Amino acid sequence: MTLPVDVRRVYEDPKGKKSEYRALVDRLWPRGVAKDSVRLDDWVKDAAPSSELRRWYGHDPELFQEFSRRYRAELRKQPASAAVDALFEAARHRDRLVLLTATKDVEHSGATVLAEHLRASLSHRT
């Protein structure tokens, strides 16, 4: 299975393309965004970092490596692992999987860790 996985800020790409499977991967709805202004196929809260992990991390880039390690551990357990499997199944007939996030620092975000996890999982599924 080859499915490109992208991470985009929801504020910069609210509509996307019809051929993309678009999933919001934040636990909280983005501030200032009306629900009807974003084209989403799913809001995958269970694939987002837990509230406890998110609060611990606080988007501090110095903690990103440890955050990434802890988040990957969460992704291997329920309910996150089931959410990841469901995301794969839902997106498999599309050209691209787009993970949407409200985070300003996408490079140090949970969405980026999730994208890397998905890419690694895809390589094991083929």
Both structure tokens of 75: 């992704």
Q: 76-122, pLDDT tens digit by residue?
A: 999 999 999 999 899 988 999 999 999 999 999 999 999 999 999 87
Quote the pTM value.
0.93
Give 30's DSSP letter: P
What pLDDT score was predicted for residue 126?
52
65 falls in which pLDDT band (50, 70, 90)?
very high
Both structure tokens of 19: 């051929």
Q: 7-61, pLDDT tens digit by residue?
A: 999 999 999 999 999 999 999 999 999 999 999 999 999 999 999 999 999 999 9
Distance of alpha carbon 56 from alpha carbon 84, whole angstroms: 23
Give 97's DSSP letter: E
Angle at 41 between CA 13 and CA 15, to 5 degrees: 25
